[in-house]
Amino acid sequence: MSEQHWILTAHCPSRLGTVDAVTGLLYQQEQYIDDLQSFDDRSHQHFFIRAQFRPEKQFDEESFRTAFAPRAEKFGMEWSLTPSNLKFKVVIMVSKFDHCLNDLLYRYRIGQLPIEIPAIISNHPDLKPLADWHNIPYFHLPITAETKPQQEAEVWKIICENNADLVVLARYMQVLSEDMCEKLSGKAINIHHSLLPGFKGARPYHQAYEKGVKLVGATAHYVNTDLDEGPIITQGIEPVDHTYYPEDLTAKGRDIECVTLARAVQYHIERRVFPYGNRCVVFSD
């Protein structure tokens, strides 16, 4: 018996028989479902499903695709089929803060994140030693208001040349242009503190301290043309109290950003996220 697992995801307008369209064929083709999640969004009359399965006999991917295609067409499904061990090619963008990059590289190094990292891009040279230690090419691309179009053209060239499946902004402290956001739609994840829309700009945790906040956290979302307001994948939050000074809030925020960003990347590569309009349907593990 093969232990190779496959992931089938689909979404379509809500109609009777959508679950059977997926599970019925898996049964007919002797595919054992070991994880199944579905959700019907009544507000938008839209259905989402994710099935992880393992073949009970030899699996023919092309034959399965051929058999499933007419079922999907009948329900107007958008769908994907991928092996669970597929390693996404992830390009990471970063500025000077190293905590999220360091955390992602550690999870990559120990195999917790089954990804390939063909390139790290930064507008500063500071984190090159970290990339060198992991034998990952590091591209230092400085940016100014005047050189932004040229810099982003170089960034896009690196992304394309490496056939990146995903771009992760691991505290990349530059605002992407509208054109770049559109190019990266659905394939770029950003992380920031979740005190927004309050406490914008510099020193947000100092601002939060002055206001006496009792919760701090982080938000991971897909990039779109609305600054820091793309479809949210996941969030993390922790309670704080009067004993937390600005430096304590900052440290707590760094920890939450690392965990939240890693979780968002994990959900994306496991095909658990369905960006839909301005929001995401997320099947957590």
Residues sharing a CB contact under 8 Å with residue 144, sequence separation 6 or more, in sequence order: none
pLDDT tens digit sequence for 144-165 = 999 999 999 999 999 999 999 9
- Tell me the CA distances in angstroms from 121 to 37, 47, 93, 117, 126, one per residue in order: 36, 37, 5, 11, 11
**Polymer length of the chain:** 285
228 token code pair: 């820091």
From the list 228, 241, 248, 255, the catalytic residue is 228
pLDDT tens digit sequence for 11-69 = 999 999 999 999 999 999 999 999 999 999 999 999 999 999 998 888 899 999 999 99
Predicted TM-score (pTM) of this structure: 0.93
Helices marked H in the chain = 18-28, 61-75, 99-109, 128-133, 148-161, 178-183, 204-211, 246-269
Q: Please say if 241 is a catalytic residue.
A: no
Rounded CA-CA distance 224/229 in Å is 7
DSSP label at residue 263: H
pLDDT tens digit sequence for 194-242 = 776 677 777 888 888 999 999 999 999 999 988 778 999 999 999 999 9
Residue type, 84: S
52 three-class SS: strand
